[in-house]
Amino acid sequence: MPKIKYQPPKYCKVKVGKKRYAAVYLNGKTIYLGHYGSPESKIAYTRFVAQHKSETALYVPEDKTNVTVKALALSYLDHVQGTISSQSYGHNRSAIRALLPLYGDDTLVGSFTPSCLKLFRQELIHSKRLCRKMINNHTRRIVSMFSWGVEEELVLPNTEAALKAVKSLPEGYPGTFDHPEREDVPDEIIIRTLPFMPPVVQAMVKVQRLTGMRPGEVFKMKVGEIDKKADPELWLYRLPTHKTQKKTKRKKSVWLSTIEQALIAPYLENKSPDAAVFSHQTAQKQSRRCNEFYNKDSYRNAVVAAIDKANQVLPDEEKIPHWTPYQLRHSASSAMEVEEDGIDKAQALLGHTTPNMTAKYNHRQMQKAKKLAKERQNVFEDEK
């Protein structure tokens, strides 16, 4: 999708007698910044551009009654960029990319009705590319864009209210599909797959299965986020952010037992605090074609590649079924739930709690998680 870039007023040279001044021209006015080429004038210019950019309604015509859906969309993308995660920004771009071919240059925001929103949604259904949940999410993203337009006085409130009246698609809606619920992967399958993985990926898989962390919490782990002095026996991994932080209003930490410490320690040596613990470049033997950190795709692809590699040499009766790192968290939970007080232990291990109970149970959950780390058994101890 083409993006209109902000063009600041130019830094110009103005002669006044024998002196040369730096200036910018804006709306027929000359704004002097100081002596041309001086550090002070350049600082003044930087400050001016920052202020001018923040005061300018990018991509929006002066006559707000003629704001098009495309102008609103481009302005909204510029607004959210840098304020939300790259993944959320990508989802917003995808939703808008699907919207603009239907309602772009010629559609005014005031003409965008619930029927337009439902037609957009129906086109997503016809594409067969997105599950029902993602279609509902894309629909809500478009409504959120119009809500922001109301806040900026680009959209009338009754337009937003009408769009919010469109209900989400229920389960089983004609033409839609839902992905099956994610299941756990048995430890026996994990152990059989490990020999076909690079050592770095083996360590990531083991740490994730033992601690019940999400994939992103493992591959984003930095050296400086591990506190080795939090407890005489345990290390504490302090996550800067996590998936449910906005919902639960609390930070997350993971206790690392001596088992995880042994897996992680070799990857901490001679690294800066901001370096990846589990480096993708190390796994690829310092390949310049990959980033330092794994991401959800490269981590998943590494596991799937190991399964494919194994199945090329294993007999039919010993083939390894497909699984991904997202199932390891379920495996940790399932293994815990079969024990006495298993549900409670699993909740502590995974850090699950409702926002209303956070203040009451947060300390108790941390203590339970700490106790579980000290008592943890190494399921990979007897692997072959």
Sequential pLDDT tens for the chain (384 residues): 344 455 678 888 888 878 888 888 876 778 888 888 888 888 888 888 887 766 654 444 455 558 899 999 999 998 888 788 777 899 999 999 999 999 977 899 999 999 999 999 999 999 999 999 999 999 999 999 999 999 988 999 999 999 999 999 999 999 999 987 777 888 999 999 999 999 999 999 999 999 888 899 999 999 999 999 989 999 999 988 745 545 444 678 899 999 999 999 999 999 999 999 999 887 776 556 678 899 988 999 999 999 999 999 999 999 999 999 988 888 877 766 544 444 455 455 555 444 443 333 344 566 677 878 888 888 887 765
H or E element, residue 14: strand 12-16
Which of helix, strand or coil describes residue 358?
Answer: helix
Q: Which two tokens stand for residue 126?
A: 């016809």
Residues of the chain with CATH 1.10.150: 64-164
Residues of the chain with CATH 1.10.443.10: 187-375
DSSP state, 266? G
Q: Which two tokens stand for residue 176?
A: 């839609």
| Separation CA 292–CA 283 (nearest Å) | 10
| Separation CA 164–CA 142 (nearest Å) | 10
CATH topology of domain 187-375: hpI Integrase; Chain A (1.10.443)
Cα separations in angstroms, 74 against 5, 60, 163, 173? 10, 9, 19, 31
Q: Rg of the chain over CA atoms, in angstroms?
A: 27
| Separation CA 141–CA 147 (nearest Å) | 10
Does CATH place domain 64-164 in 1.10.1740? no
pTM tops 0.85, yes or no: no
- Which tens digit of pLDDT belongs to each residue from 62-92? 555 588 999 999 999 988 887 887 778 999 9
Report H helices in 194-350: 199-211, 215-219, 245-248, 258-264, 280-283, 296-311, 328-337, 342-350
All residues at 6 or more sequence positions from 231 whose CB lies less than 8 Å from its CB, including other chains: 255, 370
